[in-house]
Every structure is written in C-alpha cells, then in structure tokens.
Amino acid sequence: MAKLFAGTPKSTLAEWRDVGILPEPISISLGRRGSASYYPAGTDALFARLREPGRAARDRDPLIWDLWLDPADYPVNMRRWISRRVDKFLAVLSDPGAAEYVSALKSPEKTRALINDLPRRHPARVILGNIKDGSALVALCSWALDVADDDRVLGVSLYDAQSPVLAALLKVFGLPTNFSPAPDKKINPEMLSLAYLGELVKKVKEDTAAAGDEELSQVRSDCRAIEALAKVAEWVDWNAVSRALDTNAAFLNLTSTEPPSYRSSRAERHTHRKNQLQPKVIRTLLAAWNSVEIKALLVPALIYIRRSSGHAKSVSEIIALCHLALTQFPRGSKLVAEFD
C-alpha cells in the first residue's frame, strides 16, 4: 500500500482521511514482532479512482457522496463524514448569536431578503419559492421561528382549525391544501426548539458512530435506490403526465378545492406547453435530495428507520413502488423549466 501512495503528499492523504474520503488504516498486533497496519479491501481501487484527472480537486462533499453511491463499494469513511457535517451543524446551533439571529428574522422584510440572497438552486429557496402568497410565507416563517425559540409562545399552530401554517406547509411541498391533516402529535414538529434540536442532532451523531457495517451497507443500498429514483424523475415527460392528470377523475377529486377556472386555465397551459415542467412536489424533493446538508441527515435517519422492522419494510416498499410508478411514465427530455 505504501507504494500505491508513493508521490502523494502526506498532507493530502491526511486531509482525505480527515474528511472521510480515505479509510483509516487498521492496526493489528503481531505479538513480540510488534504490529502491522493494513487498509480495508478496495482501498487500492479507491485511491486509483482519486488519482483520475480532476477528481481529487473536486469539492469534498459531492466527491465522497459520489464514491459512497458508486457500485464499486469504495471503502469511504461515511461515519467520519457524517460526524464532521453534524459537528458543523451543532456549532451553528450552539453559537451565542443564533437566538438573536432567529429573533431578527421575524421581520418579514429580512426573511424575504434572506431567501432572495440564497443561490437559485438552494433547497430553501426552491422550497419556499413554492409559496407565492407573501402573507402565507410570512406566517410560515414566523411560526418556524417561534418554534425555534426556546421561550416561544406560538401565535398560530399546526393544530388550529383551518390552520394557515398547515396550508402553507402543504404548499411548500407542492401538495394540495386538502392533502393531509396535521402531523400526529406524537411526532409534534412544534417541539423542535433550537435546544431540543441540538440534543436530537447529538443523538444522530452517536447512532451513526455506533452503526455496524451491515447497517451502513443497507443504508448505502437505500441511498443508491433513492439516487436511481431521482434520475428517473428527472427524465419523466411531466408535460404528458400533466395532460393525463387534467382528465383523471381521481386527481380532479383530490384537487377539488381549486376553483374550476384555475383548473381550466392549468389544463390549457399544459396543452400548449413545449418545455418540460416538473410538478412542485417533484421539484421540491429533487432540490432536497441535491442538498449536501439533507443527505448528511438522511444517512442517520435511515439507520434509525432501518432499526425498526416495520418501518424498514415500509421504506423498501415505498422506494420500490415509487420507482415502479415512475418507470411507467412517459420519458421526455431532461431539459426542465422553472416552475411558474
């Protein structure tokens, strides 16, 4: 292995190990003869991959994620990568200025300015961009900031009758306002203050560090399946799907709260549209999947879910059914328009 690393600066190797791209060497005792170190199987292939032109210069987060998804099963140190991402998140939560920052964002103008300053493809901008009504956006952001504040008094709640917050949340995910009731109070998201969220994140870090190789292998397979699902979703001819749904009785019943004039104009737009247009819910999920931060939380979330046999079976079934459904949809160009 020493010959394989020949010519690579020690500082580069140390940096790759630190971020999780290269695994740590495993030391074994040889008794009186001392000890020996070796690397996990596949490290030679991983290092050869890293030496391909331009690959080592890539941003570390997308690089390690691509290696994690690769069918070659490169021995990347995903526990180390998750730990580093979680530490960054905890540092933000524990910053003394975090509470003041949250309080300042209760200003509608500052909230809107913050969103507009984000990169165009940033998940928060894509997701919150689903809300066109300024008052609904302000209500949602004010609710979220009140939840984050440890000393909060919620002005509105998800569980209020005709809750504007619930309606705004459904719009955020591109779902009809009559799609679902509020979440079960056993998983009440209104309990997620900054302090409580910090405790949950610490637990996430501990669970990932303690995960066995078999657990990580299963989660790795789950991530590959989700990646395949995302690629299929990007190639679907959503225009053809939209035109079919415009005449589908079940879909029309689901969106029955929309004014007939709106449904009629939407169908007219779909009839004449030439460029590809993803549904809001698909665009939202793809934006989330393309976020490094969300991917870093997804791995420990899947570890947690997979530890419950009932939930594990549900995850497998949902991924399989979604993939089967999407592969039945007509294929189109990958060129996708912004949602108007």
- pLDDT tens for 264-301 read 776 676 666 655 577 888 888 888 888 888 888 888 88
What was the pLDDT predicted at 338? 40
Domain-embedded: residue 65: no
pTM of the model: 0.74
226: pLDDT strictly greater than 80: yes
Domain-embedded: residue 216: yes
Task: Find the helix packing angle between 213-235 and 280-289, rounded to 10°.
Answer: 140
**pLDDT tens per residue across span 94-107:** 776 666 666 666 66
133 and 159: one domain?
yes
284 and 329: one domain?
yes
pLDDT, mean of residues 39-52:
84
Q: Residues near 305 by Cβ (< 8 Å), separated by ≥ 6?
A: 311, 312, 315
Domain-embedded: residue 155: yes
Fill in the DSSP letter of residue 331.
B
> pLDDT > 90: what percent of the chain?
6
Confidence of residue 336 (pLDDT cuts 50, 70, 90): very low
- Mean residue pLDDT across the chain: 77
Q: Residues near 36 by Cβ (< 8 Å), separated by ≥ 6?
A: 27, 28, 30
226 and 312: one domain?
yes
219 and 330: one domain?
yes
Domain boundary among 172, 197, 222: 197
Decide if 189 contacts 183 (C-beta within 8 A).
yes
Confidence of residue 335 (pLDDT cuts 50, 70, 90): very low
Domain-embedded: residue 88: no
228 and 183: one domain?
no
116 and 168: one domain?
yes
Which has the minimum average pLDDT: 81-95, 163-177, 254-268, 318-332?
254-268
Range of the domain at 168: 98-197
Query: How far apart, in whole angstroms, are the C-alpha atoms of residue 162 and residue 135?
Result: 15
Domain boundary among 153, 171, 197: 197
Domain-embedded: residue 158: yes
181 and 132: one domain?
yes
What was the pLDDT predicted at 83? 87
Domain-embedded: residue 48: no
185 and 238: one domain?
no
Domain-embedded: residue 140: yes
Domain-embedded: residue 271: yes
106 and 157: one domain?
yes
Q: How many CA atoms lie within 13 A of 230 on its CB side?
A: 15
211: pLDDT strictly greater than 80: yes
179 and 280: one domain?
no
| Triad 297, 298, 301: Cα angle to 5° | 90
Domain total in the chain: 2
Domain boundary among 149, 168, 197: 197
332 and 215: one domain?
yes
Q: pLDDT higher for 250 or 314?
A: 314
Q: How far is CA 44 from CA 11, 36, 40, 63, 75, in A?
A: 18, 18, 9, 17, 10
Tokens of 14: 């140390």
303 and 224: one domain?
yes
What was the pLDDT predicted at 340? 34
123: pLDDT strictly greater than 60: yes
